[in-house]
């Protein structure tokens, strides 16, 4: 188990199922981008981080929960209709919203101390969403269990996160410098680019799902043997 093999497997799955992933998640990603643009137009570029966080807590838990359920189903050889995936994902929204808020606050707290503590927190809570959706844990229990399960796999998870997100972070920074340098955002173009980047960022969820399943296998095997 290494970063390259996880990235290869995740990319194979993502590219083979891109149409289904886009149908499942892209509409909400576009709505999320529109909401961010509306907040910026209402409150200006100095909008409070709390307002950005609230926008994310409305949309992100919906499509990320649906994506995790889709990943789990496809990994088991099933191909459920998208409406069935949504029917299972919608009841998870409140718990995922709480988890998203707690996770974001923890990462922001770590980042406020320095960049490295923020990355450390990001790695340690990387499995929390999967534990909540697939294992039925509460938000706090999922965070605690994620801290435990990432023990011994820190560098692997960190490598997976940086391999996918670091290029996207650099791309977003470049786009911000090119397109958002003026006083006003480029409207529709901003939504299109933000939505495209959001769709590509879902690859990180696929990568971490693969990592989560591999890191969980020993524990699952032990349970079966007992």
pLDDT digits over 4-16, tens only?
A: 999 999 999 999 9
Mean pLDDT of 147-172: 89
pLDDT higher than threshold 60 for residue 172: yes
pLDDT for residue 226: 35
pLDDT at residue 170 above 60? Answer: yes
Angle at Cα 27 formed by Cα 177 and Cα 75, nearest 5°? 105
90 or 152, higher pLDDT: 90
Span 47-63, average pLDDT: 80
153 pLDDT above the threshold of 80: yes
Question: Quick check: 92 pLDDT over 80?
Answer: yes
CB distance 211 to 6 below 8 Å: yes
Q: Cβ distance 129 to 68 under 8 Å? A: yes
pLDDT at 189: 78
pLDDT tens digits, 189-225:
778 888 898 999 999 999 999 999 988 865 444 344 3
What pTM value is reported for the model?
A: 0.88
**Would the pLDDT of 150 be above 60?**
yes
The answer, yes or no, to whether residue 100 has pLDDT greater than 60, is: yes
Q: What is the mean pLDDT of the chain?
A: 85
How many C-beta atoms lie closer than 10 Å to residue 185's C-beta?
A: 18
What is residue 69's predicted lDDT score, i.e. its pLDDT? 96
Instruction: Please give the distance of CA 103 from its chain centroid, rounded to a whole number.
Output: 11
Task: Return the minimum-mean-pLDDT range out of 42-46, 141-145, 182-186, 202-206.
Answer: 182-186
Q: Look at residue 186 and tell me whether its pLDDT is greater than 70.
A: no
- pLDDT: which is higher, 95 or 180: 95
- Any idea which of 105-114, 165-174, 208-217 has the lowest mean pLDDT? 105-114
Nearest to 143 by CA among 92, 90, 102: 102
Instruction: Check residue 56 and give its pLDDT.
Output: 82
Ranges of each domain in the chain:
3-213
In sign, the C-alpha dihedral spanning 178, 172, 202, 160 is positive
Name the band, by pLDDT with cuts 50, 70 and 90, for residue 41.
Answer: confident
């Amino acid at each position: 188990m290494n970063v390259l093999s996880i990235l290869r497997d995740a990319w194979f799955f993502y590219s083979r199922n891109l149409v289904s992933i886009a149908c499942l998640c892209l509409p909400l990603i576009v709505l999320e981008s529109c909401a961010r643009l509306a907040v910026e137009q209402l409150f200006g570029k100095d909008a409070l981080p709390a307002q950005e966080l609230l926008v994310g807590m409305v949309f992100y838990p919906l499509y990320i929960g649906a994506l995790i359920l889709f990943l789990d189903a496809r990994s088991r050889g099933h191909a459920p209709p998208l409406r069935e995936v949504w029917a299972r994902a919608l009841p998870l929204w409140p718990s995922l919203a709480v988890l998203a808020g707690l996770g974001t606050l923890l990462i922001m707290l770590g980042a406020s101390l320095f960049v490295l503590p923020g990355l450390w927190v990001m790695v340690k809570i990387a499995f929390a969403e999967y534990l909540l959706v697939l294992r039925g844990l509460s938000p706090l229990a999922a965070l605690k269990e994620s801290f435990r399960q990432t023990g011994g796999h820190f560098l692997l998870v960190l490598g997976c996160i940086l391999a996918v997100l670091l290029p996207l972070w650099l791309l977003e920074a470049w786009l911000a410098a090119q397109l958002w340098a003026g006083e006003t955002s480029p409207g529709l173009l901003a939504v299109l680019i933000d939505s495209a980047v959001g769709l590509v960022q879902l690859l990180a969820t696929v990568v971490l799902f693969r990592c989560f399943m591999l890191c969980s296998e020993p524990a699952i095997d032990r349970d079966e043997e007992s």
